[in-house]
Amino acid sequence: MLKVGLTGGIGSGKSEVSKRLAAKGAVVIDADKIAREVVQPGTQGLARIVAVFGDEVLHPDGSLNREKLGTIVFADPDSLATLNSIVHPLVGARVAALQERAAQDAIVVYDVPLLVENKLAAMYDVVIVVDAADETRIERLATYRNMPEEDARARIAAQATREDRLKAATLVIPNEGTMDDLDARVDEVWATLKDHAG
């Protein structure tokens, strides 16, 4: 089993790369998706978040208001650390269970947004960083997520720097060109991963 950590800053296009690797046969374990699952209504995760941050982080239907929680934690490093201490162990347990189910010869891609921030690079055989300039990412967040520029800059500032992310990389996928450029680079990276796995 080849363990691949896939990361990239918000707006870098990491999800596009993740989809393409899954289409090629990688077993993709998406930490963000799991992080959403472990805070669904009725979960221990959501109960702990509400105990710390209060009912104001809930929608009227009892689900987590991620935007409201985001405005609290991305403005305050201590709050962010508290949130991470609730969510990360729950995500870790779910990831371990999914990993056990993968075939022995699988290429398992762990889609981990905060891989560098949480110093997780050593857990993987290969670390792939999807890279794009901050200004490109801010433009994408405005265009595709309707995120105000100030919020986009705050999210980027709360994550690792581009330089720190690149230092952790075994392989880099630049993503400032066309979708065809991205496809071509993912093809190259997939061939490299198959060599590593073989």
Intrachain domains 1-26+106-198 and 34-104 with the same fold: yes
- What local confidence, expressed as pLDDT, does residue 31 receive? 81
Q: How far apart are CA 188 and CA 99, in angstroms?
A: 25
> Mind listing the pLDDT tens digit of every residue in the chain (198 residues)?
999 999 999 999 999 999 999 999 999 999 889 999 999 999 999 999 999 999 999 999 999 999 999 999 988 999 999 999 999 999 989 988 988 999 989 999 999 988 999 999 999 999 999 999 999 999 999 999 999 999 999 999 999 999 999 999 999 999 999 999 999 999 999 999 999 997
CATH code reported for the domain at 1-26+106-198: 3.40.50.300
Query: Given this model, what pLDDT does residue 106 score?
Result: 94
Token pair, residue 115, equals 């891989």
Query: Domain locations in the chain?
Result: 1-26+106-198, 34-104
CATH class (in words) of the domain with range 34-104: alpha beta
Alpha-carbon distance 5 to 190, whole Å?
Answer: 13
19 CB neighbour count, 10 Å cutoff: 13
State residue 132's pLDDT score: 97
In sequence order, the β-bridge partners of residue 4 are 109, 126
DSSP letter assigned to residue 194: H
Q: Give residue 177's pLDDT.
A: 93
Residues 6, 110: contact at Cβ < 8 Å?
yes
pLDDT for the residue 74: 87
